[in-house]
Amino acid sequence: MRHPIALALVAGALAAAGEGRAAGSVVPVAKAELPTALHVYGAAVETVTVTSSKGDVPLSVPFKSLSTRVLEPATYTVRFSVQGESLELPPCNVRGRVSIDGKWIDPPNGGPFVRKLPDDKPHDVAMEVRVSEYERRIACGFAPRAGLPQDSREELRILGFESPNGNACKGKSCSPGQAVVFVPRAHDDKKPAAVLVGVHPWNGSMWTYAAYAELLAGAQEKDMLLLFPSGLGNSLYTAPAEDETMRALAALETMVPVDRQRVSIFGASMGGQGATTIGFHHPDRFATITSFFGDARFDVKGYVRSLLPDEAAAHRVNPIDVIENARHTPLWLIHGEQDKTSPIVQSQLLYAAMSERNYKVKFDKDPKYGHHGALVQKHLVALVELAATARAPAHPTRVSYKSVRPGDTGAYGVRLVRERASGDALVDVEYVAGRLRLKAVSNVKELYFKRGSFGLKEGQEPDLVPDGPLPAVPAHWEP
């Protein structure tokens, strides 16, 4: 579904000397183009000293090693020295206060933060990072760097777009009408690019995956765009959050060429379920789906009850309830066997359902991990490689589509019209041996096919023939 043209958001000029600016600071402009953001180009910090709020012995370590060093939950202070015109701090999970030469400031948001330095002498910097039980490590998108500031359409910035979902926010980390975008340096914005969409976990935000250095570095190497929409807080990716994700993708497509057959989606925890739900509801939009320890079917008696009050509400977001739609969308499941938050049985359910239908699925179980961001970090290189090479079929010869909401009407050029707004609707159509066969149908009044669907050539419009005792369903070829 195409949405109204996005409002590009472009960052303003650097403030007066001594003031800082977040890369997410935005000013709306009318022209639809990639927004710019202020970044610093210069030397990256290599070694830092890390102390904890628990009074542990300070550690002197390479900054790069922090993403894989297991730490106890606490607030940590990362100290280092820089020299240059300006300083850029990375997004981190979760970055707190920052001190420059002993003067503490509070950066305005979770994204990159640029600060003009008072002179060209060395400056002592301290950055607080709160390590959660989920991350258990200091996760930052890149090493702090000092040098020359420059407005750029490369790297991280905020993309703005029209959104009706402001009233659907669930919690504090809600940014309707905004998404984080990563564009590789030296990216050719005339060439359609692959895109990896990341939907964030419970208590996350659109900046969560911007703090995963391996993800940004991999996207840079593969010249791939990254898109991190807001999940509207702790939403379980119900309809408004799903709509927000698809609006963000549509907005990106108005601003930079995107190869629509090379868009993949992933997420962890709530985002794992969200990626699978969104991917299964829109199977023709995604080449692959990757779920890190996400749910397949919700228990409405548990913590989700405030969002999913009954089985009908859960049915609308349960990935396993629309498994039929994954016929052409490979699924990669990754789950820790020690996970007590989202038990591994959730991924086992999806794996069994996909395998039973001979759909493409991969299941990686890790005996050492629980419900932790480090398990995501472990697989990021492979995830980027998968997203960079995967390609969705444009016109598969068989289309299976199950609709659990009236607004979900089809995929791959097949559109169904329901008999009743209530209940599920299902259609399964295959072009084989010169005939268009109706293999399954329920709650469908009529069908519409786009020209070229099923891989048919210009002028081919075969009649729809039901298999066996199935009822005949009127079918129309759209002009």
What is the pLDDT at residue 8? 35
pLDDT in tens, 303-317: 899 999 999 999 999
pLDDT in tens, 458-472: 889 999 999 989 999
Is the domain of 329 the same as that of 438?
no
3 domain residue, yes or no = no
Distance in angstroms (rounded) separating the CA atoms of residues 325 and 403: 9
What SS3 string covers 176-240?
CCEEEEEECCCCCCCCCEEEEEEECCCCCCCCCHHHCHHHHHHHHHHCCEEEEECCCECCCCCHH
pLDDT in tens, 74-133: 999 999 999 999 999 999 999 999 999 999 999 977 899 999 999 999 999 999 999 999
Which domain CATH number covers 225? 3.40.50.1820
Q: Is the pLDDT at 29 greater than 60, yes or no?
A: no
Q: Across the chain, what does the average pLDDT equal? A: 91
Is the domain of 265 the same as that of 365?
yes
What is the pLDDT at residue 33? 62
Q: Is the pLDDT at 35 greater than 70, yes or no?
A: yes
Is the domain of 100 the same as that of 159?
no
Q: Is the pLDDT at 178 greater than 60, yes or no?
A: yes
Count: domains in the chain = 3
For residue 283, give the DSSP letter.
G
pLDDT confidence bin for 34, thresholds 50/70/90:
confident
Is the domain of 339 the same as that of 455?
no
**Listed range (14-28, 68-82, 258-272) with the worst mean pLDDT:** 14-28
Task: Using the structure block, give the residue that is written with the tokens 């040098």.
Answer: 147
Is the domain of 307 the same as that of 448?
no
Which domain CATH number covers 129? 2.60.120
Candidates 16, 11, 65; CA nearest to 39 is 11
Q: Are 134 and 201 in contact (CB under 8 A)?
A: yes
Q: Is the pLDDT at 14 greater than 50, yes or no?
A: no
- Residue 378 amino acid letter: K
Which of these three, 359, 389, 419, is where a domain ends? Answer: 389
Which of these three, 131, 152, 173, is where a domain ends? Answer: 152
- The helix (run of H) or strand (run of E) holding residue 251 is helix 239-255
Which of these three, 152, 167, 193, is where a domain ends? Answer: 152
Q: Where are the beta strands (DSSP E) in 419-474?
A: 425-432, 435-442, 444-449, 464-466
pLDDT confidence bin for 173, thresholds 50/70/90:
confident
Strand-by-strand arrangement of the 425-432 sheet? 398-403, 425-432, 435-442, 464-466
469 domain residue, yes or no = yes
Q: Are 239 and 307 in contact (CB under 8 A)?
A: no
What is the pLDDT at residue 302? 87
31 domain residue, yes or no = yes
pLDDT confidence bin for 1, thresholds 50/70/90:
very low
4 domain residue, yes or no = no
- Collapsing DSSP states into helix, strand and coil, what is residue 354? helix
Is the domain of 82 the same as that of 169?
no
271 domain residue, yes or no = yes
What is the pLDDT at residue 240? 96
Is the domain of 282 the same as that of 203?
yes
Which pTM does this prediction carry?
A: 0.92
pLDDT in tens, 356-387: 999 999 999 999 999 999 999 999 999 999 99
292 domain residue, yes or no = yes
Q: Are 443 and 416 in contact (CB under 8 A)?
A: no
Is the domain of 199 the same as that of 63?
no
C-alpha separations of 328 from 319, 351, 405 in Å = 15, 15, 21
Is the domain of 232 the same as that of 110?
no
Is the domain of 234 the same as that of 361?
yes
For residue 57, give the DSSP letter.
P
Our CA angle for 430, 436, 442, nearest 5°, is 65
Is the domain of 255 the same as that of 362?
yes
Is the domain of 20 the same as that of 113?
yes
Comparison of pLDDT for 10 and 199, the residue scoring more: 199
Q: Is the pLDDT at 22 greater than 90, yes or no?
A: no
Range of the domain at 93: 9-152
2 domain residue, yes or no = no
1 domain residue, yes or no = no
What is the pLDDT at residue 386? 98
